[in-house]
Amino acid sequence: MIKAKKSLGQNFLIDKNILEKIVNITEIKNKTILEIGPGTGNLTSFIIKKKPKKFLVIEKDNILAKKIEDTYKDKLKVINDDVLDVDENSLFDEKVTVFGNLPYNISTEILNNWIINLKNDFWFECLVLMFQKEVADRIIAKFNTSNYGRLSIICNWKLNIKKICDIKPEAFYPKPKIDSSLLFFYPKKNFIKINNPNSLEKITRIFFNQRRKMLKKPYNQIFNGDKKVLEKLKIDLNLRPQNLNLDTYYKLAYEYEKLGS
């Protein structure tokens, strides 16, 4: 049996009911599919049964990548690389459906990169991704709640997000200490335009740097005390960062960009 590497977040999904559920979330037949971290191929084999048109997997672990390649040679293409070093924008000539039971230690970095690095058009049709529950809770958090923050704001900018279900540690081997959640993401048709997504990263970083403090200090830091944006967006500086809704953050990023133009 394969010895799981903790450093690569290897918790293999072994519950067949959940594997079946994952491949029924969205159409696979005749679609182009990307799987992140196929590992021992548990989810991979369920995807193959659904007959995708094209199937690519990205696996960092050399031994597992070789094993997947040997087992499914004519059914998929393996990219033996770190997903964080792959530019998915230029990998495909048509939109992709992405599956991933993501390595927990880099799951937010993967998702954040995909959103921040999106070119004009989306390279994916939808994403079916597993996160540790605590991270999923932050991704889908609503404003005025304690889980709401940078991750919620960045993820919800261009994507609709639906929670599919929570998953208990028993579904994995080795068994993780935490619960997991499965999320489904698909592109929004309309979203507030921000030319450089790094502006949104900057705004949210400065605002949530001290999430318990009032908005006065971060607002003044970004807008140099200029009250125009404040009045336009009707922001009360006595509130706290978690009290501003998603659109207000996107509008703040937009106004911040106008400062430099």
Site map for ligand SAM, 54-93, x if CB under 6 A? ----xxxx--x-----------------xxx---------
Q: Is 11 in the site for ligand SAM (CB under 6 A)?
A: yes
| CA distance readout (Å), 26 to 19, 119, 170 | 13, 24, 25
Question: Which one of 10-18, 88-96, 199-207, 244-252 is the stretch in contact with ligand SAM (CB under 6 A)?
Answer: 10-18
Q: Is 167 in the site for ligand SAM (CB under 6 A)?
A: no
The Cα–Cα gap between 66 and 177 comes to 29
Q: Is 154 in the site for ligand SAM (CB under 6 A)?
A: no
Q: Is 42 in the site for ligand SAM (CB under 6 A)?
A: yes
CB of 218 to ligand SAM, least distance (A): 33
- Scan for tokens 């540790």, then name that residue: 132
Q: Which residues contact 197 (CB under 8 A, 6 or more apart)?
A: 115, 116, 118, 154, 157
Task: Kindly report the number of other CB atoms within 10 A of residue 88's CB atom.
Answer: 19
CB of 68 to ligand SAM, least distance (A): 9
Of 53, 197, 19, 44, residue with least CA distance to 125: 53
Find the binder of ligand SAM among 97, 101, 152, 181 (CB under 6 A). 101
Q: Which residues contact 188 (CB under 8 A, 6 or more apart)?
A: 158, 159, 160
Find the binder of ligand SAM among 12, 207, 250, 256 (CB under 6 A). 12
Q: Which is nearer to ligand SAM, 83 or 230 (CB)?
A: 83
The Cα–Cα gap between 42 and 11 comes to 11
Site map for ligand SAM, 223-242, x if CB under 6 A? --------------------
Q: Which is nearer to ligand SAM, 57 or 235 (CB)?
A: 57
- Scan for tokens 């997997």, then name that residue: 57
Of 110, 130, 4, residue with least CA distance to 63: 4
Footprint of ligand SAM (CB under 6 A) = 8-13, 37-40, 42-43, 58-61, 64, 82-84, 101, 103, 106
